[in-house]
Amino acid sequence: MKKFSNRCISLILSLLMLCTSIPIYTFPVYAKETENAVLKILEVEHGTVTVNREDVTGKSITVAVGDSVTYQVSAESGYTIDYVTISYEDGASKKVPVSKSEYSNTVIVDQPTNIAVSIVADKNSDSKATEDKKDEGTTVEKATPTPEPTPTESPNGSEAKKEATKDTAKEQAVKEDNTENNADVTENEAVKGEQFDDEAFYPEGEEDVPDSDNAEIWGYLDPNTSEISTYSFDDYGPYVIKNERFDDFGGVLRIGLKYVVGDNENVDSRGQWRNVYCLNYSKDCPDGKGSFSYKGGWTNRKVEYAFYWGSVYYGQCCRWSAYSTGNWKLDYFVTQWAIHILNGEVSLATVNNWINNSSNTSGAKSITVDRLTKMVNDANNGNMYGGLFDSEGWIDMTHGATFSLSGNNNPGWYEGSDGYMYSNATYSCSFKTYSATNDGFDFREQITSYDISAPGAEVYKLDKRTYADFQIRIPKSTYASYQTTGKTINVSVTLTIPKRWGCAIYDPPASNYQKVCMLNWFDQEGTFTQNKTLTIEQAGGKIQINKRSANTSVTNGNGEYSLQGAVFDIYSGNTVVDTLTTDANGNATSKTLSYGSYTIKERTASKGYNKAADVTVNHKNSVSSVTINEPPKTGTINLQKKAKTDTYSGFESYTLKGAEYTIYNAAGKSVGTIVTDANGKGSKSGLPLGKYTVKETKAPDGYYISTTVDAANFNSNTLSVDITSIEEPGTFVTEDKVFLEKVDAETLTATAQGAGSLKNAEYTVKYYDVISDHDPSKDAKTPKYTWVFKTDEKGQIKLDDSHLVSGTLLKDSSGHVILPVGTLTIQESKAPVGYNLSSTLYVANTYVINGSTVIKGLPTGENAAKEVPSRGDVQFAKINERNRPMGNIPFKLTSKTTGESHIIYSDADGLIRTAVRDNSNPNVDKNGVWFGEGKASKSKGALLFDTYLVEEQPCEENKGYILDSFEVTISKDGAVVNADTVRNLPELKKIIVTKKIKAADINFANGNPVFTFKCTGTDYEGAKHTYYQMVEITQADVSSAEYVSVSCEFKDLKMGDYVVTEEKASRYKIGKVTAEGGTVSGEKVTFNMTPANDTYTATYVNKKFEWQYFTDKTMKTNSIKVKK
Q: Are strands 275-278 and 516-521 parallel, antiparallel or unpaired?
A: antiparallel
**Contact (Cβ atoms closer than 8 angstroms) between residue 282 and residue 189:** yes
Helix, strand and coil content of the chain, in percent to the nearest 5, comes to 10, 40, 50
pLDDT digits (tens, 9 = 90+) for 181-240: 333 333 333 333 333 333 332 233 333 333 333 333 222 223 333 332 333 356 677 899
Q: What is the pLDDT of residues 39-71, one digit of tens each?
A: 999 999 999 999 877 899 999 999 887 677 888
Q: How far apart are CA 1054 and CA 1022, in angstroms?
A: 10
- Strand extents, DSSP E, 573-611: 575-581, 587-593, 596-604
Say which CATH architecture domain 634-727 belongs to: Sandwich (2.60)
pLDDT digits (tens, 9 = 90+) for 549-575: 999 988 998 999 999 999 999 999 999
Q: What is the mean pLDDT of the chain?
A: 83
How many CB atoms are located within 10 Å of the residue 1119 CB? 5
Q: What is the pLDDT of residue 991?
A: 94
- Please report, for the chain, the start and end positions of each structural domain, with discontinuous segments joined by +: 36-133, 178-213+224-385, 541-630, 634-727, 731-863, 871-983, 989-1104
What class has domain 731-863?
A: mainly beta
Q: Averaging pLDDT over each range in 57-71, 160-174, 705-719, which range is the top one?
A: 705-719
- Rounded Cα gap, residues 419 and 424, in angstroms: 16
Cβ neighbours for 557, distance < 8 A, ≥ 6 positions apart: none
Q: Do 989-1104 and 871-983 fall under one CATH topology?
A: yes
Domain 871-983 is in which class? Answer: mainly beta
With a cut of 70, say whether residue 905 has pLDDT above it.
Answer: yes
Q: What are phi and psi of 1111, to 5 degrees?
A: -110, 130
Question: Can you tell me the distance from the alpha carbon of 860 to that of 844, in angstroms, rounded to the nearest whole number?
Answer: 11
Percent share of the chain, pLDDT over 70: 84
What does residue 162 show for φ and ψ, rounded to 5 degrees?
-60, -45
Q: Is the pLDDT score of 302 beyond 50? A: yes
Check whether domain 989-1104 has CATH 2.60.120, yes or no: no
Q: Which fold has domain 36-133?
A: Immunoglobulin-like (2.60.40)
Q: Is the pLDDT of residue 833 over 80?
A: yes
d(CA 250, CA 262): 29
Q: pLDDT by residue (tens digit) across 889-903?
A: 999 999 999 999 999
Torsion, Cα 768 774 779 781, to 10 degrees, reads 10
Half-sphere exposure of 690 (CA within 13 A, CB side): 23
Side-chain-side CA neighbours of 597 within 13 Å: the count stands at 4
What's the rounded Cα separation, in Å, for the pair 166 and 507? 19
Give the pLDDT score at 111: 87
Model-level pTM?
0.42
The mean pLDDT value for 725-748 works out to 91
For residues 203 and 512, give the distance between their C-alpha atoms in angstroms, rounded to a whole number.
6
Give the model's pLDDT for residue 770.
Answer: 95
CATH of domain 541-630: 2.60.40.10
List all residues 6 or more positions away from 275 whose beta carbon is below 8 Å from its beta carbon. 257, 258, 259, 311, 312, 313, 314, 332, 335, 518
Give the pLDDT confidence score for residue 982 in this predicted structure: 67
Q: 440 and 401 in contact (C-beta within 8 Å)? A: yes
What does the pLDDT average to over 968-989? 82
Please list, residue by residue across 989-1027, b when 16 or more beta carbons sit within 10 angstroms of its beta carbon and e when fewer do. bebbbebbbeeebbeeebbebbbbbbbebebbeeeebeb
Mean pLDDT of the region 769-779: 95
Per-residue confidence (pLDDT) for residue 216, from 0 to 100 = 30
Q: What is the mean pLDDT of residues 235-261?
A: 90
Nearest residue to 666 via CA among 688, 685, 636, 640:
688
Question: How confident is the model over 350-387, as pLDDT tens digits?
Answer: 999 999 999 999 999 999 999 999 999 999 999 998 88
Please state the rounded mean pLDDT for residues 429-449: 84
Of the two residues 124 and 228, the one the predictor is more confident about is 124
1120 or 744: which carries more pLDDT confidence? Answer: 744
CA distance 947 to 963: 20
876 has a pLDDT exceeding 60: yes
Phi then psi for 38, rounded to 5 degrees?
Answer: -110, 130
Q: What is the mean pLDDT of residues 1056-1061?
A: 94
- Residue 422, classed as helix, strand or coil, is strand
| pLDDT of res. 1041 | 92
Could you tell me how far CA 703 lies from the centroid of its own chain?
41
* Top-ranked range on mean pLDDT: pick from 230-239, 305-314, 906-915: 305-314
CB count in 10 Å sphere of residue 765? 23
Q: Taking a C-beta distance cutoff of 8 angstroms, is the pair 701, 658 a contact?
A: yes
pLDDT on residue 10 = 32
Residues 391-419 have a mean pLDDT of: 88
Confidence band of 532 (pLDDT split at 50, 70, 90): very high
- The pLDDT of residue 194: 34
Give the pLDDT score at 207: 34
What local confidence, expressed as pLDDT, does residue 925 receive? 65
Q: Which residues contact 712 (CB under 8 A, 6 or more apart)?
A: 635, 637, 663, 687, 691, 692, 693, 694, 721, 723
Q: What is the C-alpha to C-alpha distance for residues 94 and 464, in angstroms, rounded to an integer?
A: 18
Q: Beta-carbon neighbour count of residue 950 at 10 Å?
A: 20
Helix, strand counts (H, E) of the chain? 10, 70
